[in-house]
């Protein structure tokens, strides 16, 4: 069984235990002859995949009423993977979603590392620092690098832990944020786990 | 006694009870013949003012060891105005500084409204919303506009109130943030109040 999470920049595949990526720019999905169960947030790619008989969109198997209209299907499948907890997906944006007793309670969107660093730099060249992930979160900063790091990281950290739930980190920057959320579980495959659960429940494989 | 807080875009004056602004682009400080007590964060303007006998830089009267080297003098004077509390100065950046028993404990820097809105827009055109300042902060969002509003506002709010101190709002966006911080004091003149205190203490007027 091949699973694929199609994003804005890449096709992320899981084939058995093996994960691999293909760029959306030059990968032709017709190259795969096996059955592929997929979800897709990419509006350009979606119509291409719908024409292929062996590519099966499993987003239709989820009860979308539990979520909201404009919510990315990748966030939805990450939520489907857990029964209780906060999913922090750290990529170009950071999405934070809360699931309690299998029910999606809501979520928010925060800028990713690169986007926020650019924001500070654009406000003033004096704020052009990379963030300090070793920052002590219980001490108010007394230098500019820590002042922006605290502004970016502590505010997010405080909100995430305020839910008093298990934290699941995923996305390209999961490891960097693991320095902050020391008790969090890093789960790079949380979306695939959600996909497997839905496939099993829908009994389509 | 005329006070002036020189920023990157304007000269902010207090003359008795009257406040007024002049653009740094076209205002000539030589036009004022009276004594002006000033602070200045603007590196271009500072050398001009130093040449004028009637413009008196009062930043030299503050014990700078209490603060840090790259901290803006406007933030320092806002802190000097209070003995206990959190100063939230909401402009192109938002600075948050904590003063306890007259001692500066530290502070952080967060993007201002316009900068952060642009950040979300640049991440995705689907996130191009203005922030909802009427947002209910105790409910996790279930739509995109609230998801970014919560990401921007709730994270900041939670951190600021976590200090359990009186909150003083100042800066151009103070009124908008007053919707969030309902118990906060809006003090547009907090920097001038700090200047008055320092002038009195230094006995220079």
Q: pLDDT tens, position by position, for chain B (205 residues)?
A: 899 999 988 999 999 999 999 999 999 999 999 999 999 999 999 999 999 999 999 999 999 999 999 999 999 999 999 999 999 999 999 999 999 999 999 999 999 999 999 999 999 988 999 999 999 999 999 999 999 999 999 999 999 999 999 999 999 999 999 999 999 999 999 999 999 999 999 887 5
- Specify the pLDDT at position A205: 57
Cβ separation B142–A68 shorter than 8 A? yes
Fold of A2-81+193-202: Nucleotidyltransferase; domain 5 (3.30.420)
How much is the average pLDDT of A73-102? 97
Closest CA to B4 of B25, B42, B26: B42
pLDDT of res. A9: 86
Q: pLDDT band at residue A203, thresholds of 50, 70 and 90?
A: confident
Query: Residue B205's pLDDT is what?
Result: 57
Pairwise CA distance, residues A86 & A78, whole Å: 10
Q: How far apart are alpha carbons B89 and A194 in whole angstroms?
A: 43
| A143/B107 Cα distance (integer angstroms) | 9
Q: What pLDDT shows up at residue A202?
A: 87
Rounded to whole angstroms, how far apart are CA atoms A87 and B171? 35
Among B132, B136, B142, the strongest candidate for a mutation testing the A interface, having the largest count of A CBs within 10 A, is B142
Q: Give the pLDDT of residue B200.
A: 94
Substitution target from B41, B86, B109 for chain A, most A beta carbons within 10 A: B109
Report pLDDT digits (tens) over A137-188. Answer: 999 999 999 999 999 999 999 999 999 999 999 999 999 999 999 999 999 9
Tokens 């495959």 belong to A189
Instruction: Residue B27: name the closest of B14, B43, B17, B12 by CA.
Output: B12
CA dist., res. A91 & res. A47, Å (int): 25
Answer whether residue A204 shows pLDDT above 80. no
Which residues of chain B neighbour A71 with C-beta distances below 8 Å?
Answer: 142, 144
- Indicate yes or no: pTM above 0.95: no
Separation CA B95–CA B97 (nearest Å): 6
Interface touch A155/B156, C-beta < 8 Å: yes
Instruction: Quote the tokens at residue B131.
Output: 């922030």
At residue A98 the predicted structure's pLDDT band, cuts being 50, 70 and 90, is: very high
DSSP-derived 3-state class of residue B160: helix
Interface of B with A in 1-40 (CB under 8 A): none
Start-to-end CA distance of chain B, whole Å, equals 8
Spatial distance between the Cα atoms of A80 and B98, rounded to a whole number of angstroms: 41
Name which of A92, A108, A159 is nearest B147 (Cβ-Cβ). A108
Convert the pLDDT of each residue in A20-77 to its tens digit. 999 999 999 999 999 999 999 999 999 999 999 999 999 999 999 999 999 999 999 9
CA torsion sign for A180, A116, B132, B177 is positive
Burial class (CB in 10 A: 0-12, 13-18, 19+), B156: buried
Check if B183 is active-site: no
- ipTM confidence score: 0.93
Q: Which CATH architecture has domain A85-186?
A: 2-Layer Sandwich (3.30)
Domain residue extents for chain A: 2-81+193-202, 85-186
The reply to whether A85-186 shares the fold of A2-81+193-202 is yes
The catalytically annotated residue of A12, A74, A89, A173 is A74
């Amino acid at each position: 069984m091949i699973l694929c999470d199609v994003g804005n920049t890449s096709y992320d595949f899981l084939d058995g235990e093996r994960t691999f990526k293909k760029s959306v720019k030059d990968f032709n999905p017709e190259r795969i002859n096996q059955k592929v169960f997929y979800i897709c947030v990419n509006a350009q790619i979606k119509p291409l995949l719908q024409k292929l008989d062996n590519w099966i969109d499993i987003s239709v198997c989820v009860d979308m009423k539990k979520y909201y209209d404009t919510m990315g299907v990748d966030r939805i499948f990450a939520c489907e993977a857990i029964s209780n907890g906060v999913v922090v997906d750290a990529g170009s944006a950071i999405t934070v979603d809360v699931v309690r007793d299998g029910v999606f309670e809501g979520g928010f969107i925060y800028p990713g590392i690169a986007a926020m660093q650019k924001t500070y730099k654009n406000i003033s060249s004096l704020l052009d620092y990379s963030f300090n992930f070793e920052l002590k979160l219980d001490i108010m900063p007394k230098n500019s690098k820590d002042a922006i790091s605290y502004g970016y990281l502590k505010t997010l950290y405080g909100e995430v832990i305020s839910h008093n739930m298990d934290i699941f980190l995923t996305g390209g920057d999961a490891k960097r944020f693991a320095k902050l959320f020391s008790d969090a579980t890093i789960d790079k495959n949380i979306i695939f786990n959600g996909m497997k659960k839905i496939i099993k429940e829908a009994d389509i494989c």
